[in-house]
Chain A
Amino acid sequence: MSRYKLYFFNGRGRAEVSRLIFAIAGQKYEDIRYEGSEWPSYKAEMPLRQMPVLEFEGTKLPQSLSIARFLAKQFNLAGRDNFEQAKVDAVADTISDLLGKFIPPRFEKDKTKKQELMKKFFDEKVPKHLQNLDVLGKLYGNDGPFFVDNHLTWADLLFYDILETLLGIDENCLNNYPWLKQNRAEVEKQPRIAEYLKSRPKTPH
């Protein structure tokens, strides 16, 4: 009976950052994945009828970033004091802004409109946010490869995860940002992360 249960669809989506946190922390958890067709029968069990949800010692928590921040703090991946945590949050929020801009093109049903929105996203929004993240990494990173104070935090894992999706669409989008590229390479090198990436379920999203 695990202390931690993570509920999500059978995909990376908004749950993957938390799975990366569990992986690097070496923490066992129940990785509950629902297929789209079975989700309606479980919906009423989730506080806000959405996922991901983390169940921790019987309490259910919704909201992917709150879950990630909680887990990161549990496993010392959130920053070593309040001020470091604020810098980590600032980076995470900037990444989240980028994700927010991705949602409309990602879920647009009209093919022509989708193409237009994606182009605009990659031409304009992506460079702006990557530039901002580059600024923060260099300012807070203390000359190391990680976003804050030269050690890996959940902000690095969140960046790794979101860019995996974006690079899947435009493999060149990080070409102008060597620091950011190196940051992802450092995350990938971590033994527990490398192991997890090899062994996790392969899903389209």
Chain B
Amino acid sequence: MGSCDLKLYYFNLQARGELIRLILAAADRTYEDIRFDINQWSEYKPKMILGQCPVLELTDGTQIPQSMAIARYVARETGLAGINNLEAAKIDAVVDTQRDINETFYGKVFFEQDEIRKAEELEKFLNETLVKHVENLGKLKKAYSQNESYFVGNKLSWADLFVFQSIKALLKAIPQVKGKLGDQFKQLIDAIHSNEKLKAYLDSRPKTDF
């Protein structure tokens, strides 16, 4: 495949694009990382298949919308989706579990406008939801992992990248999360930071608000 046979269209943000970029970085896969600001969106929107982004576009022009469908596709293409269907399913289960939490956090806390409700929901999230989630991820890791750092089997998968990215985004949004995570993710985070290709990407990626 040629060097620019893959194009990723997304805002100049991490948000729903970053997981895809991390997978491509871990695989050292070249692609065109098309980033635009919010005021350029009206130019790009009509070109996107469902008027949303991220979108992955192949050389023949076919577009795939939906950040997770794109992530899963590039993970499979680059060997980061497990060694067989069952491993792929375990990876999906970890990803979906993390997604549930992300949706709860962004839906009920981050985007809540009412200050009092926001504070209540944040309290609930920190003391109940997040605690349970950390436990749940621990249970899945125990059931599916065959090594110290990664969630499934013996090597890095896109589930590890998704949990890593989600935790980082959460820490940035509410630093008080740090105390609730304990040591659960330390080995994962260390492993990702010592991965040469990921370290190079993480050091050089644009700094954005989120």
Most chain-B CB neighbours within 10 Å: which of A60, A86, A87?
A86
Q: A135 with B89: in contact, given A47-B140, A86-B64, A90-B66 (CB under 8 Å)?
A: no
B56 CB to nearest A CB, Å: 8
Chain B, 54-70, contact with A by CB distance < 8 Å: what is the 0/1 string? 00001000101110111
Which of A89, A135, A136 is close to B72, meaning CB atoms less than 8 Å apart? A89
Chain B, 135-156, contact with A by CB distance < 8 Å: what is the 0/1 string? 0100110010000000000000
Q: Which residue of chain B has its CB nearest to the CB of A46?
A: B139
Are the C-beta atoms of B50 and A135 separated by less than 8 Å?
yes
Could you tell me the distance between the alpha carbons of A90 and B74 in the complex, rounded to whole angstroms? 13
With an 8 Å Cβ cutoff, the count of chain A residues facing the other chain is 30
Which of A70, A87, A93, A136 is close to B92, meaning CB atoms less than 8 Å apart? A70
Could you tell me the distance between the alpha carbons of A5 and B49 in the complex, rounded to whole angstroms? 38
Contacts of A65 in B (CB 8 A): 92, 96
Could you tell me the distance between the alpha carbons of A3 and B75 in the complex, rounded to whole angstroms? 28
Are the C-beta atoms of B66 and A89 separated by less than 8 Å?
yes
Is the CB of B86 closer than 8 A to any CB of chain A?
A: yes
Is the CB of A197 closer than 8 A to any CB of chain B?
A: no
B30 CB to nearest A CB, Å: 18
Contacts of B136 in A (CB 8 A): 47-48
Number of A-B contacts (CB under 8 A): 83
Are the C-beta atoms of B70 and A86 separated by less than 8 Å?
yes
Contacts of B90 in A (CB 8 A): 59, 61
Most chain-A CB neighbours within 10 Å: which of B65, B89, B97, B136?
B89
Chain B interface SS verdict (over half): helix
Is the CB of A82 closer than 8 A to any CB of chain B?
A: yes
Is the CB of B77 closer than 8 A to any CB of chain A?
A: yes
Are the C-beta atoms of A90 and B65 separated by less than 8 Å?
yes
Could you tell me the distance between the alpha carbons of A100 and B107 in the complex, rounded to whole angstroms? 11
Q: A63 with B96: in contact, given A47-B139, A70-B86, A87-B64 (CB under 8 Å)?
A: yes
Q: A132 with B50: in contact, given A61-B90, A66-B96, A67-B89 (CB under 8 Å)?
A: yes
Chain A, 168-199, contact with B by CB distance < 8 Å: what is the 0/1 string? 00000000000000000000000000000000
Contacts of B93 in A (CB 8 A): 61-63, 66
Is the CB of B76 closer than 8 A to any CB of chain A?
A: yes
Is the CB of B73 closer than 8 A to any CB of chain A?
A: yes
Contacts of B40 in A (CB 8 A): none
Is the CB of B85 closer than 8 A to any CB of chain A?
A: yes
Q: A59 with B86: in contact, given A85-B73, A135-B49, A139-B49 (CB under 8 Å)?
A: yes
Contacts of B58 in A (CB 8 A): 83
Is the CB of A56 closer than 8 A to any CB of chain B?
A: yes
Contacts of A66 in B (CB 8 A): 89, 92-93, 95-96
Contacts of B140 in A (CB 8 A): 47-48
Chain A, 45-84, contact with B by CB distance < 8 Å: what is the 0/1 string? 0011000000010011111011101100110000000110
| Listed A/B pairs (12) with beta-carbon separation below 8 Å | A47-B136, A47-B140, A59-B90, A67-B89, A70-B92, A83-B73, A89-B69, A90-B65, A90-B66, A92-B69, A93-B66, A135-B49
**4 shortest interchain CB distances as A-B pairs:** A66-B92, A89-B69, A70-B89, A86-B73
